[in-house]
C-alpha cells in the first residue's frame, strides 16, 4: 500500500490503518471507516488536499479525529511542473529529515511516499487555523511574523554541511528559474500599458541576462529555503494567546540557496504595495536581527539588504512563470486572473521601488 495515490478520494479504512500501523502510530486498533472531504481549489497548484475523518475500533489513543491527505495534482501542466521539480520528493524529505530539528511549528507528520515528483503526505489537520490569502495579501505585521519564523529555519541551516547530505534537496533550483523569453513576450503584449515603460524596460533587461544572474547565487551563503513563501502557503492564527502566529506549509519547492530569496518573494508577492510602502528596510532588519539572534555570524545588515535587493531582481521571473503556468492570457477562472495580475504588479512595483535595475551591472561578489 506504500505506493502512489491517483485519487485521494479513493483511499479507504484499510489503507489508513496500514499507514498508521506502518508508521508506528496505531498499535492494536484499526480504522473501520473513513469519511473523505475535498478541500481547496486552484490555490494549491501542485497538489490535491482531502480531509480524512476516521472511525476507529480498539485502542487508538493519541490519534486525531481527522487528518489531511495531500496528493499530487492531475492537472497536466501543473503535474509536469511537480515532476520536474520532484515536488513530493522535496516535501517528504523535509518532513522526514528536518521537522524535528526546526523550532517553528509544523503540521505533525504521519507518513508519506514519493516517486519522481509524485506522491502523498498524511499530515495533521490544521484547517481550523485561518489560511493566508494571496489576493487579499498580508499586513506588514503578518509579513514580519512570517519573516521571524522563516529566519529561524534559515539560521538553523546556515552554511550547514547537512544540506549537502540531503540528496533530495537541490541547489538553487526554483520553479521560476527557467527560460522565460517567450512567456515575457506574451505577457508584455497583454500588460505593457499597465506595467508601464519603466517596468517593461527593467524586465526586458532582466530577461536578457537572467541566466547569468541566477548563476551568481553560487557565491552567497546557502541555507534551506522554502522557495515559494507566500500568503497561500501560510496559516495565520489570529488568537492572541497562540504561540504559533504563523505556520509555513507546502515545502515542495524547498532548495538550498540564498535565504534572501524567501524574504524578497514574501515581501514583493504577498504584501500589497500600499501596505509595503516605506517598510522594506524595517522588514529586512527584522530578518537580519532574527538571523543573528539564532546564531548566524559574519553576515552584516548591509549584506542582507543587498541580498534582498538582488533576490528581488531574480524574483522578476516569478510573475512571468506564474503567468505561463496559469495559462495566461487565457485564464480558466477569476482566481487565476487575480493571482497572475497581482504578481505582475506587486513584483514590478517592488523592484522599481528598490531600484534593482542598477544591480544588473553592479551585482558582483
- Render each residue's pLDDT in the chain as its tens digit; 365 residues: 568 888 899 999 999 999 999 999 998 899 999 999 998 754 456 688 999 999 999 998 899 999 999 999 887 777 887 888 899 999 999 999 999 898 888 999 999 999 988 999 999 999 999 999 999 999 999 999 999 999 999 999 999 999 999 999 999 999 999 999 999 999 999 999 999 999 999 999 999 999 999 999 999 999 999 999 999 999 998 765 555 689 999 999 999 999 999 999 999 999 999 999 999 999 999 999 999 999 999 999 999 999 999 999 999 999 999 999 899 999 989 999 999 999 999 999 999 999 999 999 776 64
- Cβ burial, residue 361 (10 Å; 0-12/13-18/19+): exposed
Per-position b or e across 112-132, b if 16+ CB within 10 A of its CB: bbbeebbbbbbbebbeebebb
| Cα–Cα distance for residue pair 154/141, rounded to 1 Å | 20
- Strands (E) across the chain are located at 30-39, 47-57, 67-72, 109-115, 118-124, 223-225, 234-236, 246-248, 255-257
DSSP classification of residue 363: -
CB 225 within 8 A of CB 173: no
Q: Where are the alpha helices (DSSP H) in the chain?
A: 13-22, 76-85, 87-98, 140-156, 162-165, 181-195, 197-215, 260-270, 273-276, 280-293, 301-314, 317-325, 334-353, 359-362
Give yes or no for a contact between 69 and 52, defined as CB atoms under 8 angstroms apart.
Answer: yes
Per-residue b or e along 9-18, where b marks 16 or more CB atoms closer than 10 Å to that residue's CB? eebebebbbb
Q: Which domains does the chain have, with CATH numbers?
A: 8-124 (3.30.200.20), 140-362 (3.90.1200)
Length of the chain: 365
Locate 336 and state its grid cell. Answer: 487565476
Residue 7, number of CB atoms within 10 A of its CB: 11
d(CA 292, CA 290): 5
Three-class DSSP category at 171: strand
Which residues, 6 or more positions from 267, have their beta carbon under 8 angstroms from its beta carbon?
A: 143, 276, 280, 283, 308, 312, 350
d(CA 168, CA 86): 8
Residue 81's SS3 state is: helix
- The answer to whether the bond into 329 is cis (omega within 30° of 0) is yes
| Strand-strand pairing, 118-124 and 67-72 | antiparallel
Euclidean distance between the first and the last CA atom of the chain, given in angstroms as a whole number: 50
Distance between CA atoms of 88 and 123, rounded to whole angstroms?
13
Cell numbers found for residue 316:
522578476
Please report the pLDDT score of residue 213 as a whole number: 93
Q: Are 253 and 169 in contact (CB under 8 A)?
A: no
Number of H helices, E strands in the chain: 14, 9
Residue with cell 533576490: 311
pTM: 0.94
**Using CA atoms, how far apart are residues 291 and 289, in angstroms rounded to an integer?**
5
What's the pLDDT score for residue 42?
A: 44
Residue 178: count other Cβ atoms within 10 Å of its Cβ. 16
What is the rounded distance in angstroms from the CA atom of residue 225 to the CA atom of residue 327?
27
Cα torsion for 278, 279, 280, 285, to the nearest 10°? 140
Amino acid at each position: 500500500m506504500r505506493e502512489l495515490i491517483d485519487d485521494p478520494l479513493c483511499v479507504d479504512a484499510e489503507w489508513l490503518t496500514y499507514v498508521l500501523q506502518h508508521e508506528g502510530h496505531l498499535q492494536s486498533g484499526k480504522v473501520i471507516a473513513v469519511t473523505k472531504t475535498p478541500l481547496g481549489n486552484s490555490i494549491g497548484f501542485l497538489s490535491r488536499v482531502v480531509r480524512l475523518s476516521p472511525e476507529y475500533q480498539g485502542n487508538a489513543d493519541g490519534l486525531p479525529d481527522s487528518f489531511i491527505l495531500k496528493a499530487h495534482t492531475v492537472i497536466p501542466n501543473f503535474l509536469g511542473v511537480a515532476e520536474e521539480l520532484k515536488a513530493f520528493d522535496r516535501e517528504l524529505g523535509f518532513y522526514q529529515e528536518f521537522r524535528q530539528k526546526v523550532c517553528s511549528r509544523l503540521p505533525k507528520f504521519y507518513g508519506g511516499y514519493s516517486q519522481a515528483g509524485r506522491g502523498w503526505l498524511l499530515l495533521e489537520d490544521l484547517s481550523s487555523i485561518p489560511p493566508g490569502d494571496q489576493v487579499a495579501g498580508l499586513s506588514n505585521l503578518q509579513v514580519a511574523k512570517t519573516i521571524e519564523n522563516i529566519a529561524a529555519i534559515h539560521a538553523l541551516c546556515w552554511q550547514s554541511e547537512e544540506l549537502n547530505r540531503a540528496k533530495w534537496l537541490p541547489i538553487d533550483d526554483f520553479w521560476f528559474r527557467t527560460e522565460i523569453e517567450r512567456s515575457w513576450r506574451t505577457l508584455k503584449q497583454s500588460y505593457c500599458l499597465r506595467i508601464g515603460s519603466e517596468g517593461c524596460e527593467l524586465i526586458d533587461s532582466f530577461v536578457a541576462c537572467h541566466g547569468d544572474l541566477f548563476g551568481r547565487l553560487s557565491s552567497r551563503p546557502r541555507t534551506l529555503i522554502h522557495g515559494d513563501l507566500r500568503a497561500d502557503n501560510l496559516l495565520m492564527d489570529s488568537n492572541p494567546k497562540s504561540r504559533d502566529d504563523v505556520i509555513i506549509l507546502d515545502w515542495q519547492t524547498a532548495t538550498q540557496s540564498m535565504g534572501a530569496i524567501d524574504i524578497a518573494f514574501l515581501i514583493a508577492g504577498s504584501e500589497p504595495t500600499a501596505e509595503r510602502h516605506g517598510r522594506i528596510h524595517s522588514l529586512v532588519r527584522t530578518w537580519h536581527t532574527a538571523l543573528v539572534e539564532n546564531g548566524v555570524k559574519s553576515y552584516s545588515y548591509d549584506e542582507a539588504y543587498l541580498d534582498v535587493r538582488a533576490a528581488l531582481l531574480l524574483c522578476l521571473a516569478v510573475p512571468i512563470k506564474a503567468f505561463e503556468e496559469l495559462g495566461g492570457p487565457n485564464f480558466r477562472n477569476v482566481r487565476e486572473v487575480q493571482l497572475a495580475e497581482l504578481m505582475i504588479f506587486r513584483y514590478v512595483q517592488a523592484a522599481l521601488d528598490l531600484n534593482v535595475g542598477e544591480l544588473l551591472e553592479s551585482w558582483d561578489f
